[in-house]
Structure 1
Amino acid sequence: MSSTNSQRTEPGAQEDHAQKEELNKKIKEQKIVVDELSNLKKNRRVYTQQPNSNIFFLADKAETLSACKKDLDNMRKDYQDI
């Protein structure tokens, strides 16, 4: 017996799936950022970009790393809530 209901989905299910895929992509990107920051040498400089701008400012590496980890944790939490 084959199931003919496999293609039927709720109207909001596809939207939730697309949102979940987008969030998963952002989580992967954030993991890479955290890994890159974690592996920098101590004397390397880190710059952060101003929102909605092309201006970068010198930032503290430890603060930037902790902020990125926090963002990653929040994204993972949101992903589980979906």
Structure 2
Amino acid sequence: MSSKGNENGDNLEEVSAIKEELNKKIKEQKVVVDELSNLKKNRKVYIQQRNSNIFFLADRAQTLGSCKKELDNMKKDLQEL
């Protein structure tokens, strides 16, 4: 087998691994969206500061909207692969 054929095989494995990881993240994000959607209106929501263990109080509706947008972006990225 030529080296070019081997590169294509490696590339396919790489794309497959990326798709698998993206599918996993999409499933996790769906759970987050479902959990936020099913919260009572008066429940408090906290978001984690990036690269930190600090959480800040956040608006539930705004957080739900940003999580839905992130889920849509992940789905779009998966379609592009």
Distance in 2, Cα, partners of 1:10 & 1:34: 36
Question: C-alpha separation between the residues in 2 aligned to 1:52 and 1:11?
Answer: 32
Question: Who is 1:43 aligned against?
Answer: 42
Residues 26-55 of structure 1 deviation map (CA, whole Å, 9 limit, x = unaligned): 000000000000000011000000000000
Instruction: Check if 1:68 corresponds to 2:63.
Output: no
The count of aligned residue pairs is 75
Q: Distance in 1 between matches of 2:61 and 2:41?
A: 10
What is the alpha-carbon distance in structure 1 between the residues aligned to residue 61 and residue 80 of structure 2? 29
**1:10 CA displacement:** 2.2
* In structure 1, distance between residues paired with 2:70 and 2:47: 14
What SS class does the counterpart of residue 33 from structure 1 fall into?
helix
In the other structure, the counterpart of 2:3 is none
Report the aligned-residue RMSD: 1.2
Distance 1:25 1:11 in 2: 21
Normalising by structure 1, report the TM-score: 0.88
Choose between structure 1 and 2: higher helix proportion: 2
1:11, distance to aligned residue in structure 2 (A): 2.1
Structure 1 unaligned regions, length at least 5? 1-7
| Alignment correspondent of 1:19 | 18
Q: Percent identity?
A: 69
Q: Cα distance, 1:78 vs. partner? A: 0.1
> Match for 1:41: what amino acid?
K
Whichever residue aligns with residue 25 of structure 1, its letter is K
